[in-house]
Amino acid sequence: MIRESQAAVIAGVAVDTRHWIGGERVASTETFTDTSPIDGSVLGEIARGTAMEAAAAVAAAKAAFPGWAATSRAERARILHAIADGVEKRLEDLAIVETCDSGALLRSHRRGVMPRVAHNFRFFADWLLRLEHEDFETRGHTNHVSWDPAGPSVLITPWNAPLMLATWKVAPALAAGNTVVLKPAEWSPLTASLLADIAAEAGLPAGVLNVVQGYGAEIGDALTSHPDVRRISFTGSVPTAQRIAESAAANLTPLSLELGGKSPLLVFADADLDLAVDLAVEQYDNAGQVCLAATRILVEESVAEEFTRRFVSKASALKQGDPRDEATDIGPTIHSRQLEKIDGFVQRALAAGARTVIGGHRDGQYYAPTLLTGVAQDSEIVQEEVFGPVLTLQTFTTEDEAVRLANGTRFGLAATVATGDPERAERVTSQLVAGTVWVNCFFVRDLQAPFGGSRLSGVGREGGTWSFDFYCDLKNTVTAPKGWTNHG
Ligand code: NAD
């Protein structure tokens, strides 16, 4: 039984607000208040972790590691599928809690995100069973490549797609035979706690998955500088990644970093313009709080006026409001601090000469979908990630100019190209600096594809075998043929 003071009750769903360490709920002496972006209501008092709980969680992960690493692949896969079953069973609970905590749409959580959370576990369970490298021979000796579990892994995640991004790391780390300390973001900490319950019910042994709550600035360093931690996978902002990299440097702990972006959408005059407009308007999804969002729209000058006309008509029809309402297209911004940040970017851009095509203002916790034009390539609004529903529109006249503008930031997470010419698509995509490029589509994500960013958008790739390459110690074992002697 959870005591009232240790639970958040959201739409009838009780969520334990303590840490989950070594298979037990652990309180902290202090808590922090978690509020809902929908209406500012208090959701719960969350355990405010310190270095002490960080150390306890790593110790629990270390103690559980030998047992989990020695567990057969088949058994690990079975438990991961059982976790996926648990996610599916509690899909409605997870969806409503996530919506109230993060402000993202309930309809997306029900139909897209939570099924995808379950799929994260099923995919990496199945991939584990297929994971192999063909043996090869060197002068009669056999080379055998294996993926050995590496050890306790610290996984740190952001608030914009909390459970989706957490399980995109938790699932492959567990599949790899590692034990985990998960630190969710302080603005949306709740579904990570439900995940701990689901994993325990699925039979995951105590200590294999630990969840610690708290402010990153207070508990983060104790996790990332810990000498018993063998992997750190982080999704979040560039400044935090830089701090984590410094902290991890003491032990040279391998890092996977999935960071911000300022991705372009290139619209050529030969594109299906309605499709291009659809792709552009889609960038307001999750109130623009999407790392992959193509926030810089680059349109060939000859179609820019028509593109803008159709864009305004389509974007103006979007319904912004309560994310629990099935008819809503855009929900609130996660936190008032994020709103201030977004508005600061927009006001500075306007002061620097940008013009508002639509939006440019806030209404309570909601930032209006915004499109700015008249922006210079070297301006802050074009160069820096806003992480809100704010797009810029620039025009180009040649393919070379389009590529130059597209590649002209410090980021390289993703890019989208709208064109009706396959040869142009090939030419342009080969020149774009990005971890993922979409041609005439957006957000098609397969877990077997490599995922990550170039430049400041990240270090390393996860997905399919790339995830196992990161979470495991790869080993090559060379065996001599029977009867072989060194002096033969
Ligand atoms: P953030 O960097 O502020 O926080 C991310 C996480 O890091 C949180 O859990 C936070 O508590 C923790 N943290 C903060 N300081 C820490 C420290 N010193 N040590 C360890 N952990 C610490 O990012 P955010 O504002 O939560 O998320 C938004 C950012 O995430 C954006 O830049 C967005 O582009 C990026 N993002 C990237 C991807 C991707 O896959 N590339 C996906 C989603 C979000």
**Rounded percentage of the chain residues whose pLDDT exceeds 90:** 98
| Mean pLDDT of all residues in 392-408 | 98
Confidence of residue 402 (pLDDT cuts 50, 70, 90): very high
Q: What is the pLDDT of residues 466-476, one digit of tens each?
A: 999 999 999 99
Distance 409 CA to ligand 1 centre (A): 20
329 lines ligand 1 (CB under 6 A): no
Q: What residues does 208 pair with on adjacent strands?
A: none
Q: Which of 157, 160, 191, 413 to mutate to test the pocket of ligand 1 (most atoms within 8 A of CB)?
A: 160
240 lines ligand 1 (CB under 6 A): yes
Residue 224 and residue 305 in one domain: no
Q: What are the tokens at 348?
A: 């500075």
Is residue 452 a part of any domain in this protein? no
What pLDDT is attached to residue 1? 54
463 lines ligand 1 (CB under 6 A): no
Q: Which of 190, 237, 253, 387 to mutate to test the pocket of ligand 1 (most atoms within 8 A of CB)?
A: 237
How far is 107 from 327, CA to CA, in rounded Å? 9
Q: Is the pLDDT of residue 487 over 70?
A: no
- Strand ranges (E), 433-471: 436-439, 454-455, 458-459
Residue 307 and residue 170 in one domain: no
Residue 289 and residue 344 in one domain: yes
Residue 115 and residue 13 in one domain: yes
The whole domain housing 168 covers 4-259+457-476
Q: What is the pLDDT of residues 17-27, one digit of tens each?
A: 999 999 999 99
- The values of phi and psi at residue 321, to 5°, are 170, -155
Nearest-CA neighbor of 16 among 206, 223, 220, 195? 195
Distance 126 CA to ligand 1 centre (A): 29
Confidence of residue 310 (pLDDT cuts 50, 70, 90): very high
Closest ligand 1 atom, residue 221 Cα: 19
Q: Whose alpha carbon is nearest atom 16 of ligand 1?
A: 216
Residue 274 and residue 248 in one domain: no
Q: What is the pLDDT of residues 450-461, one digit of tens each?
A: 999 999 999 999
Q: Is the pLDDT of residue 326 over 60?
A: yes
224 lines ligand 1 (CB under 6 A): yes
What pLDDT is attached to residue 128? 98
Q: What are the tokens at 71?
A: 């567990």
What pLDDT is attached to residue 488? 53
Q: Which of 215, 235, 240 to mutate to test the pocket of ligand 1 (most atoms within 8 A of CB)?
A: 240
Closest ligand 1 atom, residue 184 Cα: 9
Q: Which pairs with CB-CB distance under 8 Å and at least 24 residues apart come from 305-313?
A: 306/273, 307/267, 307/273, 307/276, 307/277, 307/280, 308/357, 308/371, 308/373, 308/393, 310/273, 310/274, 310/277, 311/277, 311/280, 311/281, 311/357, 311/371, 312/357, 312/358, 312/371
Helices (H), 32-187: 51-70, 73-89, 91-102, 106-108, 114-130, 162-175
Distance 237 CA to ligand 1 centre (A): 5
β pairing state of 153-156 and 180-183: parallel
What pLDDT is attached to residue 3? 64
Distance 403 CA to ligand 1 centre (A): 29
212 lines ligand 1 (CB under 6 A): no
Distance 36 CA to ligand 1 centre (A): 19
What pLDDT is attached to residue 161? 97
151 lines ligand 1 (CB under 6 A): no
Residue 153 and residue 16 in one domain: yes
Q: Is the pLDDT of residue 119 over 60?
A: yes
Residue 268 and residue 250 in one domain: no
Q: Is the pLDDT of residue 386 over 90?
A: yes
Q: What mean pLDDT is reported for the chain?
A: 97
| Mean pLDDT of all residues in 264-269 | 98
Is residue 484 a part of any domain in this protein? no
* CATH number of residue 368's parent domain: 3.40.309.10
| Mean pLDDT of all residues in 265-275 | 98
Is residue 449 a part of any domain in this protein? no
Distance 467 CA to ligand 1 centre (A): 19
To the nearest 10 degrees (0 to 180), the angle between helices 399-406 and 422-431 is 40
Is residue 51 a part of any domain in this protein? yes
Residue 306 and residue 378 in one domain: yes
What pLDDT is attached to residue 296? 98
181 lines ligand 1 (CB under 6 A): no
Confidence of residue 486 (pLDDT cuts 50, 70, 90): confident
* CATH number of residue 204's parent domain: 3.40.605.10
| Mean pLDDT of all residues in 225-241 | 98
Q: Whose alpha carbon is nearest atom 35 of ligand 1?
A: 236
Three-state SS letters, 254-322? CEEEECCCCEEEEECCCCCHHHHHHHHHHHHHHHHCCCCCEEEEEEEHHHHHHHHHHHHHHHHCCCECC
200 lines ligand 1 (CB under 6 A): no
Residue 89 and residue 231 in one domain: yes
Closest ligand 1 atom, residue 240 Cα: 2
263 lines ligand 1 (CB under 6 A): no
Is residue 451 a part of any domain in this protein? no
Residue 114 and residue 181 in one domain: yes
What pLDDT is attached to residue 485? 86
Q: Which of 253, 291, 384 to mutate to test the pocket of ligand 1 (most atoms within 8 A of CB)?
A: 291
Q: Is the pLDDT of residue 330 over 80?
A: yes
53 lines ligand 1 (CB under 6 A): no
Distance 290 CA to ligand 1 centre (A): 12
Q: Whose alpha carbon is nearest atom 8 of ligand 1?
A: 185
Is residue 144 a part of any domain in this protein? yes
Q: What is the pLDDT of residues 28-54, one digit of tens each?
A: 999 999 999 999 999 999 999 999 999
Exactly one of 186, 258, 300, 385 is catalytic; name it: 258
Distance 434 CA to ligand 1 centre (A): 20
Is residue 208 a part of any domain in this protein? yes
Q: What is the pLDDT of residues 58-96, one digit of tens each?
A: 999 999 999 999 999 999 999 999 999 999 999 999 999
Distance 91 CA to ligand 1 centre (A): 25
CA angle (417, 419, 423) in 5-degree steps: 100
Residue 132 and residue 247 in one domain: yes
Name the domain count of the chain. 2
Closest ligand 1 atom, residue 214 Cα: 11
Q: Whose alpha carbon is nearest atom 15 of ligand 1?
A: 216
Beta-carbon count within 10 A of 364 CB: 11
Is residue 404 a part of any domain in this protein? yes
Closest ligand 1 atom, residue 413 Cα: 41
| 3-class SS of residue 358 | strand
Q: Is the pLDDT of residue 5 over 90?
A: no
What pLDDT is attached to residue 4? 60
Residue 252 and residue 272 in one domain: no
Q: What is the pLDDT of residues 205-231, one digit of tens each?
A: 999 999 999 999 999 999 999 999 999
How far is 231 from 469, CA to CA, in rounded Å? 11
Q: What is the pLDDT of residues 147-176, one digit of tens each?
A: 999 999 999 999 999 999 999 999 999 999
4 is catalytic: no
- Check: CB of residue 276 under 8 Å from CB of residue 305: no
